[in-house]
Amino acid sequence: MSRRRFLHLAVGLTLVLVVAGAVVLSYFWLPFAPDDTSGGRLAPPGGDHLLGTDKLGRDLFTQLLIGGRIAIGTALGAAALGGVLGVTFGLLAGFATRWLDDAAAVLLDILIAFPTLLLAMLIVAGAGASLGTAVVAIGLAMAAVVARLTRVLVKQILARDYITAARVAGISWPGIVVSHVLPNIAPTVLVNLALQAGLAVLAEASLSYLGLGTPPPNASWGRMLYEAQATVLTAPAGALAPGIALLVLVIGVNLTADGLRDVLSVKGSR
Amino acid sequence: MTLLSVDRLSVTDRAGHVLVDDVSFRVAAGDRTGLIGESGSGKSLTALAVLGLLPRGLTATGSVSLDGADMIRAPRGHGDVAAVVFQEPLTALDPLMTAGRQIAGPIRRFRALRGDALRDAVREALDAVRLTDTDRIARSYPHQLSGGQRQRVAIAMAIACRPRLLIADEPTTALDVTVQAEILDLLDRIVTENDTALLFITHDLPVAARVVRDTHVLQSGRVVESGPITSLVTAPQHPYTRTLVESARRFDAALERTGRD
């Protein structure tokens, strides 16, 4: 394996850990109280306020740290939901035959063709805007992608001779799933989940930007972007800070997924 | 004593195509029976039906009795009754499990061994397939082994629970010719030593001739000729068997001609 593969993983993990570290830090220490507006409106970066203040006078760095909690929370929550639901459904669909198999495949294709944001909007319209709703919506969309991948992988694994050998030996289907199927699909599914987690961060930011995600006063990077929109020319820090934070986290997650794939495939497929 | 008896076995698919047509044969303890035929002749399907593992969508009629169990109506798997060696050892082994763990699986299950006893049994199985450096191989993943080593590991896995019937489905087809001969010798020795019955499936008459005693020649799902391999080779009755024998002879003749030139 080449050094470049480890480089991806190392850089990706570093970026993710920087954001995650800042988020952990935010639970113990914040430069200012989230609702402290003593700094005055739209203060420039520097001085007491590292990144300046927003149009209500709140400290931007504080907002950024709190927004990080939401970004990381969305990534983890949506990946957990999408992973559990997706793998479960994908496993069942992988074992299905005939019309049931066709029905599962068509259902998954329809779900995937349905835009995530539109699905999220529908769910938000029904359940009201909140972080929980956004995570559920993003997680459901992710589950469809994971389920389709899992289904195909399961079908591939089930066609292998070692599955037949296990059945000849009288090992039950649940036993075969635990000992052969899940370990063999795990590397690919995990990498896919990591990639999807990056997309989940973006999806949550988009929803919040549209006002469908985290409601005020909780800062989300997407909502910070929206609020800074009007003053982007006079006080660019308000838009740059959440934008760069998003970029760092998503690139970090994607590089981690990339590196993970290279590292896992060395042991896996060859 | 009859270990396996197949009576008027037919396999049909959903469209009504008959893939295996009225096949009957018997395998007694210690027998070495060959199913010979080209691809599509139904020999592998017959083996799957014997094990009760037909792909969904195929239905079997007739009767298959393996060690007293009805494998068509109430199939059950038992590592100590039958085991299979497959054609392609790379897909017959789980790529994520070390050779040792794969062999240990059925042993733990059917012989209830744990700890040191289990480790010894794995080493014994690897010794039995004439692998040296057993400790290293037990710790290796399939992709770290050569084709011959993989097939030996697959055989070790199959015989680890001392099955009374070993089904070998084209076990040498994916291997180099030199390795083929070694694996055939190994199978030969193992079934002799353990008094295991062997059901050997191949398209290759010379390969069958090395290990098999009784043969059934299949063509498009039907048994066209049965008998001891010696009489089949010396005096084939059915035209298809004659074709098989002649094509094998042509290879020999070509080899000799090349040697003379």
Whether residues B91 and A268 touch (CB distance < 8 A) is answered with no
What does the pLDDT read at residue A82? 94
Name which of A102, A153, A161 to mutate to probe chain B: the one with the most chain B Cβ atoms within 10 A of its Cβ: A161
| pLDDT tens profile B195-210 | 899 999 998 888 888 8
Beta-bridge partner residues of B122: none
Q: Is the pLDDT of residue B162 over 90?
A: no
Q: Alpha carbon of A214 to those of A125, A162, A229, B10, B45: distances in Å?
A: 14, 48, 17, 64, 59
Identify the three-state secondary structure at position A268: coil
Which residue of A153, A163, A164, A270 to mutate against B (max B Cβ within 10 Å)? A164
| The pLDDT of residue B249 is above 50 | yes
Q: Which residue has the higher pLDDT, A146 or B78?
A: A146
Q: Select the residue of A168, A169, A267 nearest B109 (Cβ to Cβ).
A: A169
Q: Which two tokens stand for residue A190?
A: 């995990």
User: pLDDT tens across B3-17, in order?
Assistant: 899 999 999 988 889
Is the pLDDT reported for residue B240 higher than 80?
yes
Q: Which residue has the tokens 């083996």?
A: B47
Q: What is the mean pLDDT of chain A?
A: 85
A267 band by pLDDT with thresholds 50, 70 and 90? low
Tens digits of residue pLDDT in A54-64: 777 778 888 88
**What are the tens digits of pLDDT across the range A80-131?**
999 999 999 999 999 987 888 889 989 988 888 888 788 888 888 888 777 8
Compute the average pLDDT of residues A182-207: 91
Which amino acid would we find at residue A68? G
Tokens, residue B39: 């691809």
What percentage of chain B carries pLDDT values higher than 70?
Answer: 98
Averaged pLDDT, B118-141: 89
pLDDT tens digit string along A159-181? 899 998 888 888 889 999 999 99
Query: Once rounded to an integer, what is the mean pLDDT over residues B140-151?
Result: 90
Q: What is the pLDDT of residue A33?
A: 75
Indicate the residue type of B61: T
User: Between B1 and B31, whose confidence is greater?
Assistant: B31
Q: Which residue of B has its CA nearest to A168?
A: B77
Using the beta-carbon criterion (under 8 Å), do A160 and B96 form an inter-chain contact? no
Q: From A264, which residue of chain B is nearest by alpha-carbon distance?
A: B96
Averaged pLDDT for residues A190-194: 92
> How does residue A263 score in pLDDT terms, banded at 50, 70 and 90?
confident
Sequence-ordered alpha helix ranges (H) in chain A:
3-28, 60-95, 98-113, 116-127, 131-158, 161-168, 173-176, 182-209, 221-228, 237-267
Looking at the predicted structure, is the pLDDT value of residue A269 above 60?
no
Inter-chain CB proximity B96 and A164 less than 8 Å: no
Q: CB-based burial of residue A2 (10 Å sphere; 0-12 exposed, 13-18 middle, 19+ buried)? A: exposed
Q: Provide the CA B120 distance to its chain's centre, in angstroms.
A: 26
Q: Is the pLDDT of residue A1 over 60?
A: no
Predicted confidence at residue A266, as pLDDT, reads: 53
- Label residue A270 by pLDDT band (50, 70, 90): very low
The CA distance from B151 to the nearest CA of chain A, in Å, is: 12
pLDDT of the residue at A3: 67
How high is the pLDDT of residue A87?
A: 96
Please provide the DSSP assignment of chain B as one string. -EEEEEEEEEEE-TT--EEEEEEEEEEETT-EEEEE--TTSSHHHHHHHHTT-PPTT-EEEEEEEETTEETTTS----TTTEEEE-S-HHHHS-TTS-HHHHHHHHHHHHS---HHHHHHHHHHHHHHTT-SSHHHHHT--GGGS-HHHHHHHHHHHHHTT--SEEEEESTTTTS-HHHHHHHHHHHHHHHHHHT-EEEEEES-HHHHHHH-SEEEEEETTEEEEEEEHHHHHHS--SHHHHHHHHHHHHHHHHHHHHHH-
Q: Which residue in the block uniquely carries the two structure tokens 């113990």?
A: A28
Mean pLDDT of A205-220: 80
pLDDT grade for B231, boundaries at 50, 70 and 90: confident
